[in-house]
Structure 1
């Protein structure tokens, strides 16, 4: 009461919340999105834009966004944050430290799976030279249509997500799937998600 005793609202003023991050004082989701992009994306040299793919569930978009921002909890990132670990070596191949790039791109298991996926796609194996190009659908974009490029990007997202899921099964459940089994899951999930979200596109 002592604090409020000398406080008076101006005449005809409204008592409401003010969002101080914007000059208008009004909160809009679009303003928050722009603010997050301006603060987070430039801080990661490998990321210059937010990727969008409507052919897959939102959880895959979030996964790709976190991977490109180096925000997946691989052992090397956990070690940087002071988590006490017995080892930071890859739990799948044990040949190198576990970084996001290694898990999704450089690990022998990941390379074998990418080789199987690209062969299934009907192309000879071409190694992506830069990790930041992964998930963009650029590998075969020079020779295919925009639709084919979007389909390949979808396959990339599903493959990356399945690699990450398999990694977590190895770490937390001590269970590892084989390359052919994981490829089969990628084929099933890709067909299921694309056919449900792109009804005008025939995959048969």
Structure 2
């Protein structure tokens, strides 16, 4: 309790109203203009957008998982490290062959490849390319001629 009191005494309070601060620039007040400016600096507007197709037959949870995997937002060792977690080891703990990314977990890992074989057999489609990305896999599957 004493250390908390010491910390509180060290804080300087200003006699003014509360303001919203834009986290990307703590010296600016929050505004739509500042958000737009920050986004335009961090997003390449000339890059091709992801052509993710939302399928109404698939559950919302599944769609969200695949979309997050494409965006590298599922919890993998590499994603956790990029979020600031202190990850020393980012090599896949299942196969030890590569860094643990979303693409590796779902496609590149030897375990994932063994799972894809019966799936493609069950769907009666050729074996999918597990060397690419999840977005490429989805495009490849959607290009397969089927009835």
Q: TM-score by structure 1 length?
A: 0.44
> 2:55 aligned with 1:53, yes or no?
yes
CA contact (8 A) 1:51 1:65 kept: no
**Pair 1:142–1:75, CA change in 2 (3 A):** closer
Name the counterpart of 2:84: 82
- Aligned partner of 2:138 among 135, 152, 155: 135
CA contact (8 A) 1:77 1:99 kept: yes
**Pair 1:49–1:105, CA change in 2 (3 A):** same
Q: What are the ranges of 5 or more consecutive residues in structure 2 without an aligned counterpart?
A: 1-30, 33-38
Backbone CA RMSD of aligned residues: 3.3
**Pair 1:129–1:97, CA change in 2 (3 A):** closer
Give the CA deviation at 1:48.
2.0
RCO greater where, 1 or 2, for CA within 8 Å and sep 6 or more? 1
Name the counterpart of 2:114: 112
Q: Which deviations, in whole Å up to 9, do the C-alpha atoms of 1:125-162 show, x marking residues without a partner? A: 242563122234x33634213xxxxxxxxxxxxxxxxx
CA contact (8 A) 1:105 1:111 kept: yes
**Pair 1:60–1:95, CA change in 2 (3 A):** same
Name the counterpart of 1:5: none
Give the CA deviation at 1:41.
8.8
Q: Quick one: distance in 2 between partners of 1:41 and 1:127? A: 29
**Pair 1:123–1:139, CA change in 2 (3 A):** same
Q: TM-score by structure 2 length?
A: 0.59
Give the CA deviation at 1:66.
0.9
Q: Quick one: distance in 1 between partners of 2:57 and 2:44? A: 26
Q: Quick one: distance in 2 between partners of 1:93 and 1:85? A: 18
